[in-house]
A and B are shown apart, each in its own frame.
Chain A
Amino acid sequence: MVYQIRNSIRRNGQNFERVGAKLLGLMNKPLIFFTAVLLSVGMLSAPTASAKSIVYGTQDEPQTLDPHAANLAVTNRLLSNVYEGLVERDKDFKLTPWLATSWTQPDASTWRFKLRPNVKFHDGSTFSADDVVFSVQRALHPLSQQKISLQGVDSARKVDDLTVDFVMREPNPVLPNHLTQLRIMSRAWAVKNKAETPQNYKDAEDTFASRNANGTGPFMVKDRQPDVRTVLVAHPNWWNKNSPERGNVTEVTLRPIKSSPTRIAALISNEVQFVNDPQPQDVPRMRSSPGVKITEGQEARVQFLAFDQHRDELLYSNVKGKNPWKDVRVRQAVAHAIDAEAIRTKVMRNLAVLTGTIIAPGDQGFFKDADKRLPYDPERAKKLLAEAGYPNGFSVTLDCGDNKPAPDICQAIAPMLAKVGINTTPNVMPTGTFFPKLQKFDTSFYLLSWTTPTSDALYTLQSLLRTQVPNASGGDNNFGRYSNKTLDSLIDRFRVETDLKKRDALIGEALTLINREMSIVTLHRPIIPWAMRANVNAILPPNAVPYFFRFNVK
Chain B
Amino acid sequence: MNDTLKRIFDSDLWYSFKRHPLVIVAAILSLACILGAVFAPLLAPHNPFDLKTLNLLDAFTPPAWSASGKGQFLLGTDDQGRDVMSTIMYGSRVSLTVGICAVALSMVIGITLGLISGYVGGALDSFIMRVADVQLSFPAILIALLIDGVARVVIGKNGHDEVAIYVLIFAIAASGWVQYARTVRGSTLVERNKEYVQAARVIGRRPLAIMFSHVLPNVMGPVFVLATLHVGAAIITEATLSFLGVGVPPTQPSLGTLIRIGNDFLFSGEWWITVFPGIMLVILVLSINIIGDWLRDALNPKLR
Contacts and interface: CB of A to CB of B under 8 A. Distances in A.
Contacts of A428: 250
B56 A259 contact: no
Contacts, number: 98
A494 B222 CA distance: 81
Nearest to B146: A5
Nearest to B274: A261
B140 to A, nearest CB: 14
B4 interface: no
B59 A281 contact: no
Question: Interface size bucket, A side?
Answer: 35 or more
B153 A9 contact: yes
Contacts of A12: 153
A279 B157 contact: no
A158 B185 CA distance: 80
Nearest to A18: B245
B251 interface: yes
Nearest to A265: B267
Contact of B153 (A16, A22, A343, A427): A16
A339 B268 contact: no
B57 A281 contact: no
A468 B153 CA distance: 32
A13 B149 contact: yes
B51 A339 contact: no
Contact of B52 (A19, A261, A284, A418): A418
Interface band, chain B? 20 to 34
Given A260-B264, A281-B268, A414-B51, A346 B246 contact: no
B5 to A, nearest CB: 48
A339 B56 contact: yes
B182 to A, nearest CB: 24
A411 interface: yes
B269 A13 contact: no
Given A13-B152, A279-B264, A418-B51, A346 B157 contact: no
A10 to B, nearest CB: 10
Given A13-B153, A346-B59, A411-B80, A282 B145 contact: no
A469 to B, nearest CB: 31
The winner among A22, A282, A415 for most chain B CB atoms within 10 A is A415
Given A9-B153, A16-B152, A425-B251, A346 B52 contact: no
B263 interface: yes
Nearest to B241: A19
B35 interface: no
A346 B265 contact: no
Interface in B114-159: 142, 145-146, 148-150, 152-153, 157-158
Interface of B: 51-52, 54-57, 59-60, 79-81, 142, 145-146, 148-150, 152-153, 157-158, 244-246, 250-251, 263-270
26 contacts: A5-B149, A9-B153, A12-B153, A13-B149, A13-B153, A16-B149, A16-B152, A18-B245, A259-B263, A264-B267, A279-B264, A281-B264, A281-B267, A285-B268, A346-B57, A411-B79, A412-B56, A412-B59, A412-B80, A415-B56, A415-B81, A416-B56, A418-B51, A418-B52, A419-B51, A427-B157
Given A19-B145, A264-B267, A418-B51, 17 more contacts: A5-B146, A9-B153, A15-B149, A16-B148, A16-B153, A259-B264, A265-B267, A279-B268, A281-B264, A282-B268, A346-B56, A415-B51, A415-B55, A415-B80, A423-B51, A424-B51, A429-B157
8 A-B pairs closest in CB distance: A16-B149, A281-B268, A418-B51, A415-B54, A415-B51, A342-B56, A13-B153, A346-B59
